[in-house]
Amino acid sequence: MNPQTVTRGVDRVRHRPSSGSGASAIFDEPGPRTQAVIRWLTVLSLVLIAAGIAWAVHLFAENGQLAAGKWIEFTQWPVIRYLLKGLGHTMLGALGAGAIALPLGLILAMGRMGRIRVIRWISIAIIEVFRSMPLLLLIYIFFIALPRYDINPDLYWKLVIPIGLCSGATIAEVFRAGVLALPAGQTEAAEAVGMTRWQTMRLVVMPQAIRLVLPALLAQVVVLLKDTTLGYAVSYSELQYSAKVLVSSTNHLIQTYLLVTAVYILVNLAISKAAEAWGRRSSRRYGRGDSSNSEVAAVEVGAIA
């Protein structure tokens, strides 16, 4: 490529006036009165939640469910090890589903935004089918129906593949939303230096779109973890199924499920906080007002390509 052409392209982008004036939003920012209403509703919601928790604790105490004798078994290492093993299987299931969902979502998003009509319509059909299909029904298909046709994967895959397919359809829309949220100047700057559509998507658009939607992708991990609780349908020994087995041997139903619920809440909160922290970090590091620099980067990437 002619270096003078690249230099002129960079100069045009650098001197282009910025059209953005800050972070964009779908809705107008609430005014003082609306903010006051939101604060009061938040306080009221917290008070109601606290009252509900206090009432539940009171009922448990009245019925002897908080007695130390019913909780002592959860301090014993064999029980702790058994529950930790179930938690490990839950994490392993979420990891496997994520390994399927992320590349599948990226492929489907690229196909849906492509210019080849057949591939675009196939991608749309796959996305809509798996977004609309109940996950439990798809798990039963893999567990009951497919083995009759000599398609009988391991128990782990009977759970992981359906979760990955349904999550992949959702992640495809997340990727597509990230691409559509980018300024049109990103594509224009890349095309101005002669980059093909594939080079534009691979080198300019998708890296920025992935960075933009990464908090949403991390939040999707929470959904994957919760979806693994459907492992009881195929007797996969994830955390909830392990709790069910433990209840059958100890008869301490309330104590077991309260503990398991607390574990799920803590793990999901940790993932959600990580997503929020990444979102704040990305907002500080990559401001919307710095879009001209991004376009300069696009031109320079085009020069390299």
* Higher-scoring residue by pLDDT: 84, 184: 84
- Give CA–CA dist 96/108, Å, rounded: 18
Average pLDDT of the chain to the nearest whole number: 80
pLDDT of residue 123: 93
- The CA-atom distances, in angstroms, between 168 and each of 107, 134, 141, 206 are 9, 14, 18, 17
Residue-wise pLDDT tens digits, 15-65: 444 444 444 444 567 788 888 888 899 999 999 999 998 998 888 888 887
- The CA-atom distances, in angstroms, between 125 and each of 118, 167, 267 are 11, 15, 34
Nearest to 246 by CA among 51, 70, 126, 99: 70
Global confidence as pTM: 0.73
Nearest to 214 by CA among 264, 294, 271: 271
Cα 118 to the center of its chain, rounded Å: 28
pLDDT of residue 209: 82
pLDDT of residue 287: 54
Residue-wise pLDDT tens digits, 188-206: 787 788 887 777 777 888 8
Average pLDDT over residues 97-114: 91
Confidence of residue 293 (pLDDT cuts 50, 70, 90): very low
For residue 69, pLDDT beyond 50: yes
Residue-wise pLDDT tens digits, 221-241: 888 888 998 988 888 889 989
- Give CA–CA dist 87/117, Å, rounded: 44
For residue 11, pLDDT beyond 60: no
- Give CA–CA dist 136/260, Å, rounded: 21
pLDDT of residue 86: 92
- Give CA–CA dist 24/197, Å, rounded: 27
For residue 292, pLDDT beyond 60: no
pLDDT of residue 283: 67
Residue-wise pLDDT tens digits, 252-276: 888 899 899 999 999 888 888 877 7
Would you call 5 helix, strand, or coil by DSSP? helix
The alpha-helical segments, DSSP class H, found in 113-134 are 117-132
* Higher-scoring residue by pLDDT: 8, 66: 66
Q: What CATH code is assigned to 70-304?
A: 1.10.3720.10
* Pick from 15-19, 130-134, 149-153, 209-213: least confident: 15-19
Domain boundaries, the chain: 70-304
